[in-house]
Amino acid sequence: MTRQCRLVVWTLGLAGLGAAAAQDVVLRHEDSDGCGAAEVVLENRLVRVDVLTGEPPPVPSQRWRDRLLRRPPPEARPRYGTRFVGPGWIGQVTFLPTGRRWFAETSGGRENWQGIPEEFDEAVRVLEITPGVWHCLKIGVGLCQGVDRCFRGSLKLIDPGVWETIEEDLGAGGRAVTFRQTVPARDGYGYRYEKRLILRPGESRLLVERTLTNIGEKPWDTTWYTHAFWGQDGRGGYDDRCWATVPLRGATVPGLGEAAIDTRICRIGKPPQAGYWGAVDGDILAGGWYACGTDDGAEVFLTALAETPAFYRMWTCPQTYSLEAFRLISLAPGAVDHWVETLACGAGLERLDAHDGNAGYQAVVSSDGAPGASAAVSLRVLPFREVAEGVLRLQFRGADGRQRREDHPIRAAGPAAAVEVPLASLSGVLPVHLEARLEVAGAASDALAMAEAARMVLAATAAVPAVRLPASGGGAGAVILGPYERRADDGWVPTPAAGFLSEYLAAAGFKPIFVRDRDGLPAEPAAATALVACVGLRALPATVWRQLEDHVRAGGGLVVCGPITPTAFEGTDLLPLREVSSSVRVGAAPRDCTREFLGAWSRRYQLEPLEEHPVLSGLPFLPTGRQDIGVLQILEPTPAGRAILRYQTPAGLQPAVSTPALVLAAYGAGRVAVLASPVDWGMPSNWCLWNRLGEYHRQFFQQLGLWAAESALPGGATAAGQ
């Protein structure tokens, strides 16, 4: 039987009696998603949070004749399907000082493409009722019926259990709402799930407490993650001014003996016909948080857990993108799992380097890069609550191992008023390990939200390399050749590999166009062609090979990526290859949202640099950078070819491969590069991250294109860059 009820709890304390009404959090009910039913809105003067209640329908009754004939009961359809947890679904978060709405807002059919749904993806199988058909627990949905492993698409709701909604006045103007579901034990399996959302006055920080209890007699496992649909560009989507980051372990910092923390912002690209999808394993994560932001107003949104996730699933599509931190849950009978998530937003940071639950931090280090030069150091602090009087407590540890402490007063700061704290004492002592914590008197929810002290590793700006690539393609043309199909408008439909290259080269300053490979180079391109890139190489007419030879001989660049037909280059000496002898292809991708994502990188091939080269400058490789290549070919270079990358095989993966992955050569006045894998790394074609949302994948192909085309760009090529 299903029951939905609402309880209102008043817990007024003395601290709340004098709170001004304008400061209080308002909890009200309105139809915020247009579904015809009232939703919950939590709002103070900094943020508005729209929460979908997802009130489940009653279980349909079954006629006596159907029961007698043992026909399956009618389906009880939840409002938001049998995938996500409906009640408590955060539909939108708005930062009121700027009006920034952070999430996508679209819906269609029974799916809602909006806000921050959450899912317990691994269903708990309870009882096999017929061969291959199971009763199962889908946490947050209820008792369902599914097939085989009871993946989301096969589920039919049988009983949603009992849902309760509890509204609380927390005192001092704070409010909370709890959504509680109880599915009584059946065949030894049952659970209780609570999701409590807390908002206090003067804070842009929403705390989400979750508690999951096994109330059955048998143990079970599941996975949990939030499936945020980001859309912060002002139109419910994203553009090239939007970014995201996840903190990753970097290389060891010389002189400090400690790994750097990579918080590089990742631009969210929209390659035509392509997108990103894949896993980031927990062993290279440097914290339990991630951040999204936009250059417009230097706004940022923090999502933080207290512990490091087991892994992330990352993906993009034309409408939205998501960074999904997974927790693995195993509960014995009577056991309880409790975790707190912090969602906080504000303006004033160009990126996020660390947080302590109370504030976000951006380290600013500037120098001319000369050896031994001192650096100007400061710390930008974005409190997630209004601060009249606070103290920023800092602790440093330098290369000499000595600990130092500093306290800095923080006044008149807040989510819409970040402050910058100069750290003059650090200008001559980098690198240092820095820990920061903002303490604010009277912060009622700090005990729940407070993470460990924000941790950063500050180092001087890297020295400028002696050999540099051109900064930009300067508007030069880039022809991307491929086996395209014609569009209805008489253009060409790019392959996913061509889509990636098109976006990357455009961002590097080229003007890319798609041309079918067997048609050859255009006679009168819109811009002088400096670069030709082949996304795969098949047999080409001799006239096309002569065009390519003339192009490179005159100073142009050529980049050839797999797959390469072994006989495709027999009629030319342009490529630095003797032969392409065989192909290697890994198995299928891990099943979505399962523990098979753990260690998935070890079942795919990686890249290993053989020497320093401008094409590889600034790129991370194992152990911190993982390319996860699914398809490769065995190449034998000519004596003129120079391999600067080779494949590396993780332990246990067969066959073991260590052959050249990237071969470079000069040809006349120009340059040629051959990559032995597809641009999108192969099977599955969209498993392509390196390392979060394609930021190093993008940098690699941009640098490869700039190197190949350098002789045809202003300034010409440097001999050391050959």
Q: 354-458, superfamily in CATH? A: Immunoglobulins (2.60.40.10)
Residue 313 pLDDT > 80: yes
Mean pLDDT, residues 125-135 taken together? 95
CATH number of 3-233+312-346: 2.70.98
State the Rg of the chain over Cα: 28
Residue 447 pLDDT > 70: no
Mean pLDDT, residues 682-688 taken together? 67
Beta strands at 162-171 and 354-355: parallel, antiparallel or unpaired: unpaired
Residue 687 pLDDT > 80: no
| C-beta of residue 358 within 8 angstroms of C-beta of residue 383 | yes
The residue that leads in pLDDT, 3 or 662, is 662
Q: Please enumerate in sequence order all residues whose Cβ is within 8 A of that of 257, keeping only pairs 6 or more positions apart, or say none.
A: none
| C-beta of residue 141 within 8 angstroms of C-beta of residue 613 | no
The confidence band for 263, taking pLDDT boundaries of 50, 70 and 90, is very high
* pLDDT tens profile 294-307: 999 999 999 999 99
pLDDT score for 449: 56
Residue 567 pLDDT > 70: yes
| Whole-number percent of the chain with pLDDT over 70 | 88
pLDDT score for 19: 36
Q: pTM of the full predicted structure?
A: 0.91
Mean pLDDT, residues 461-467 taken together? 60
* pLDDT tens profile 600-622: 899 999 999 999 999 999 999 99
CA 193 to chain centre: 27
Residue 338 pLDDT > 80: yes
pLDDT score for 257: 86
Cα–Cα nearest to 479, from 531, 429, 428, 434? 531
Mean pLDDT, residues 486-515 taken together? 91
Both structure tokens of 9: 């709890």
Residue 686 pLDDT > 70: no
pLDDT score for 639: 96
Rounded-to-integer distance, Cα 456 and Cα 452, Å: 12
Rounded-to-integer distance, Cα 594 and Cα 474, Å: 45
Residue type, 460: A
Cα–Cα nearest to 303, from 327, 319, 325? 325
pLDDT score for 391: 95
CATH number of 477-721: 3.40.50.880
The residue that leads in pLDDT, 321 or 58, is 321
Residue 542 pLDDT > 50: yes
Mean pLDDT, residues 427-449 taken together? 78
* pLDDT tens profile 220-237: 999 999 999 999 999 999
The confidence band for 17, taking pLDDT boundaries of 50, 70 and 90, is very low
Positions of E strands within 161-268: 162-171, 174-186, 189-199, 205-214, 220-226, 242-245, 248-253, 258-262, 266-267
- For 335-344, 444-453, 471-480, which range has the lowest pLDDT when averaged over its residues? 444-453
What DSSP string runs through 411-448?
A: EEEBTTB-EEEE-GGGTTT-SEEEEEEEEETT-TTHHH
Mean pLDDT, residues 96-123 taken together? 84
Q: Please enumerate in sequence order all residues whose Cβ is within 8 A of that of 534, keeping only pairs 6 or more positions apart, or say none.
A: 481, 482, 517, 558, 559, 560, 561
| C-beta of residue 506 within 8 angstroms of C-beta of residue 540 | no
| C-beta of residue 576 within 8 angstroms of C-beta of residue 564 | no
pLDDT score for 534: 98
Average pLDDT of the chain to the nearest whole number:
89
pLDDT score for 510: 96
Mean pLDDT, residues 423-439 taken together? 91
Positions of E strands within 33-120: 39-43, 47-52, 89-95, 100-101, 105-108, 111-114, 118-120
The residue that leads in pLDDT, 506 or 599, is 506
The residue that leads in pLDDT, 714 or 119, is 119
Q: Name residue, tokens 């930021």.
A: 695
- CA triplet 62, 88, 1: central angle to 5 degrees? 20
The confidence band for 38, taking pLDDT boundaries of 50, 70 and 90, is confident
pLDDT score for 370: 54
Mean pLDDT, residues 651-669 taken together? 96
